[in-house]
Chain A
Amino acid sequence: MATLQLRNVNKTYGSGLPDTLKNIELKIESGEFLILVGPSGCGKSTLMNCIAGLESISGGAILVDEADISGMSPKDRDIAMVFQSYALYPTMSVRENIAFGLKIRKMAPAAIEEEVARVAKLLQIEHLLGRKPGQLSGGQQQRVAMGRALARRPKIYLFDEPLSNLDAKLRVEMRTEIKLMHQRLKTTTVYVTHDQIEAMTLGDKVAVMKDGLIQQFGTPQQIYNDPANLFVASFIGSPPMNFIPLRLQRQEGRLHALLDSGQARCELPLGLSEAGLEDREVILGMRPEQIVLAPAEPNGLPSIRAEVQVIEPTGPDTLVFVTLNQTKVCCRLAPDIAPQVGETLNLQFDPARVLLFDASSGERLGVVGGAQAEVHAGNVAQFKGR
């Protein structure tokens, strides 16, 4: 149990090369679950290796419980890690795998025995203790890898894409199990993934990374509802957010977005009136679930008629694709609606939840809707400070 703070961490592999990590700044409290998420090559695994001490940092500091550990060797940091490939020692039994770190640390044999038994019970792998890693299934290897990390009772756990080698069903099971484990043990955890569902479901805090920069650091809700830029908005959410390029128009002092489905047009009034936004290329962001079927009686919210082009029933929802402003737009509708292809639907949006991005830089424009301005400001300060 420890706090973890990264203070202006930089990493470069050579003076001529681009920086792998740029001014990484974040802090998590004791017991929090931090997710590092981003596409491959964004630096998230490098950052994790830096925290573990497997790679050195070029600048800044890594603090655990306010103490700088950036100069320490990995074994002195009291950090345990679960690897993507599990990295179980192939010639050792499961018992020896779990006990290895304890033996190296010169723990008494009786205490080791006790600790192995505790961990094995916790992960329900008691019956596997005598086996070699090669005789285990992927899910079992995953448990042993977690057991090896748990046995040392470290200050911080690191998980490096631990579920990516499992099949889809097992991945969901283990995800729940990791969450359950964290709820019981309350250990500070850093978890690297490229899977945005894992990021949303597991994290107390999420850091979305791209090109060695933290694009946004916040709670999963902040990341989802109030993304700092186009990249975060597009990376988080499945099916992804719809992006409609258009120009804004000012009418009676308020900004409007004009939507065109080919059949009809709709003026979407936006909740902001900042100067300089009109007559410039912007991108309107709308999550699929924010587009709903308009009720029979008008309720004052803007609506538009559009032709259904593709239907993808997923079970719990039906994804309906229409075209707005020559862009394919996904709407997540209730499964009982089930329209036919070619049918015309009357769709409705909540203008307060629509997001605006600058078309060239991808940055969020203004702050729309329910998000509190000061929260948002703190949220994206990081990004702007690059």
Chain B
Amino acid sequence: MHNQLAKPTLNFSRIAIYATLLLACAVYLIPLIVMLLTSFKSPEDIRTGNLLSWPQVITGIGWIKAWDTVGGFFWNSVKITLPAVFISTLLGALNGYVLTMWRFRGSQLFFGLLLFGCFLPFQTVLLPASFTLGKLGLASTTTGLVIVHIVYGLAFTTLFFRNYFMSVPDALVRAARLDGAGFFTIFTRILLPMSVPIIMVCLIWQFTQIWNDFLFGVVFASGDAQPITVALNNLVNTSTGVKEYNVDMAAAMIAGLPTLLVYVLAGKYFLRGLTAGAVKG
């Protein structure tokens, strides 16, 4: 029995499966390969060769120029993303905790309305948000953009944590209350340590969303405070001068690397966290 299972037989259907998988893989990877190759080519190389040709001379000039242009905006994105990710995750965890363990009259309705935020298109909140930020004196500031990201992310982070905590028996909280623990002690000492998988899901999700955001960045930040996505767009869409594709590609790689890195580092938690609620009974 075990031997039969362990020994793969090479027949037509198996070859078909592998071929399909390889094709799908290529479709996804070729753009990345083109970007990487182009970013290391010289401008002459780009003009003479085709998209998939190997660079004649490998040069880092594209990357250096790209970093000179978008490097500052890269740090803007870090400054926007990190606080927004951590604060929205923390608040989502608190919301989820209250909505499962300290239910109040109308908490179900509250959760239902909050869920609405998940389905709200970005465009609909632009005007109200900019009006509110203006009233608060936070228009065109990094703080303002961070706040918009936090508020918009809350719907998702709350949903994640609320569903995760639903699978935690409330007897744990009752036991802790009898042990003398208060609201925040129970949260930090008992529930948060149990929530590593869902915290990871939340962090990855929020990081990807906020880092990749373009619309909020272009609307609520201006000039030197813009995030890298906006800077990349400005770089690529300039209508003056010669197109430097190697610089464009390198800048795009710089803009995309952090999310790739986060997924590579924490991806296994992402899968584990997404299935955690389903496995627990």
Find chain B residues with CB under 8 A from A209 CB.
none
Contact with A along B163-192 (1 / 0, CB 8 A): 000000101101111111110010001100
B106 at the A interface (CB under 8 A)? no
- Cα A104 to Cα B174 in complex, Å, equals 15
B64 at the A interface (CB under 8 A)? no
Residue of B nearest to A79 (CB): B178
Q: Which one of A49, A73, A83, A105 lies within 8 Å of B175 (CB-CB)?
A: A83
Q: Is the CB of A87 within 8 A of B177?
A: no
Find chain A residues with CB under 8 A from B178 CB.
52-54, 74-75, 79-81, 101
Q: Which one of A49, A75, A89, A105 lies within 8 Å of B172 (CB-CB)?
A: A89
Q: Is the CB of A91 within 8 A of B169?
A: no
Count of chain A residues with a beta carbon within 8 Å of a chain B beta carbon: 24
Q: Is the CB of B177 within 8 A of A83?
A: no
Contact with B along A23-44 (1 / 0, CB 8 A): 0000000000000000000000
A132 vs chain B, min Cβ distance (A) = 11
- Cα A333 to Cα B154 in complex, Å, equals 69
A75 vs chain B, min Cβ distance (A) = 4
B193 at the A interface (CB under 8 A)? yes
Residue of B nearest to A152 (CB): B179
Chain A at the B interface: mostly helix, strand, loop or mixed?
Answer: loop
A90 at the B interface (CB under 8 A)? yes
Beta-carbon contacts under 8 Å, A44-102 to B: 49, 52-54, 73-75, 79-81, 83-85, 87, 89-92, 100-101
Chain B at the A interface: mostly helix, strand, loop or mixed?
Answer: helix
Contacts between chains A and B (CB distance < 8 A), count? 58
Q: Is the CB of B177 within 8 A of A54?
A: yes
B260 at the A interface (CB under 8 A)? no
- Given known contacts A54-B174, A85-B171, A90 and B179 CB-to-CB distance under 8 angstroms: no
- Given known contacts A75-B180, A79-B178, A105-B180, A91 and B193 CB-to-CB distance under 8 angstroms: yes
Find chain A residues with CB under 8 A from B175 CB.
81, 83, 87, 89, 148
Q: Is the CB of B177 within 8 A of A75?
A: yes
Q: Is the CB of B174 within 8 A of A87?
A: yes
- Cα A148 to Cα B175 in complex, Å, equals 10
B175 vs chain A, min Cβ distance (A) = 4
Q: Is the CB of A89 within 8 A of B190?
A: yes
Find chain A residues with CB under 8 A from B190 CB.
89, 91
B194 at the A interface (CB under 8 A)? yes
A residues within 8 Å of B by Cβ? 49, 52-54, 73-75, 79-81, 83-85, 87, 89-92, 100-101, 104-105, 148, 152
23 contacts between A and B (CB under 8 A): A49-B174, A53-B178, A75-B178, A75-B179, A75-B182, A81-B178, A83-B171, A83-B175, A85-B171, A87-B171, A87-B175, A89-B172, A89-B176, A91-B190, A92-B193, A100-B176, A100-B179, A104-B180, A104-B181, A104-B185, A148-B175, A148-B179, A152-B179
Not counting A81-B178, A105-B180, a sample of 17 additional A-B residue pairs whose C-beta atoms are within 8 angstroms of each other reads A49-B174, A52-B174, A74-B174, A74-B177, A74-B178, A75-B178, A79-B178, A81-B175, A83-B175, A87-B172, A89-B172, A89-B189, A90-B194, A91-B190, A101-B180, A104-B181, A148-B175
Task: Please give me the 3 A-B residue pairs with the lowest Cβ-Cβ distance, nearest first.
Answer: A101-B179, A87-B171, A75-B180
